[in-house]
Amino acid sequence: MIRLAVFASGEGTNLEAILAAIAAGRLDAEVAAVASDRPECGAVARARRHGLPTWALCPSDFPDKAAYERALAAAVTGRGEVDVAVLAGYMRIAGPVLRETFPCMVNLHPSLLPCFPGRDAVAQALAAGVRVTGCTVHFVDEGVDTGPIIAQRAVAVRPGDDAERLRARIQRAEHRLLPEVLSLFAQGRIRREGRRVEILPRARAARPHGGAGGGGGWREPS
């Protein structure tokens, strides 16, 4: 079993998808903590309804980003070690404090990266006139949606799509993809070497292990 910390700023539908996968036995994990920068957001309400340890801190209450991240990281790690930190609709760029506290951090983005990084990815796809977009789970680095890609799922852009319809279909794909990727971590089937990410077959997977900074079978050779 791996321990997850989920960071979210929106409605929390991907948090709900993670919890559903755990309840259905498709994901051997527990959500050890939920963190947010928006105390009134739907993700916080969902987390509290599920009885999850939840922290929502307003960045404006702190002198700078580093102070905000130190407080959030201390709250989350105060509940014990975290194997994978998951940015699931977290609308802030993870700074050095969070990245150093959680070396195994992944982000969910609503496009097929490297296309359409940053905000308004769905609107970017529609404006570009592409016929296919989708969603991506990738490791977090110092850039904006530039980390090594773990997995993607394509979503067709249909004639007459607007942002609302396309976003809804991408979200349904996200709700499948994110728990599947986290399950690969739990099975010890993800290996990263620099920017190269390999999904190991079951026979080659290492036994998942705990510990902050790369548990759950994620391995980055030194």
Active site residue ranges: 109
| Region label for 217, one of left (φ > 0), alpha (ψ between -120 and 50) or beta (otherwise) | left
Contact 115, 155 (CB under 8 A): no
Contact 169, 147 (CB under 8 A): no
DSSP string, 52-65: --EEE--GGGSSSH
- Record the tokens describing residue 118, joined without a space: 């940053």
| Region label for 191, one of left (φ > 0), alpha (ψ between -120 and 50) or beta (otherwise) | beta
Residue whose pair of structure tokens reads 């980390």 in the numeric block? 147
- Record the tokens describing residue 54, joined without a space: 């939840």
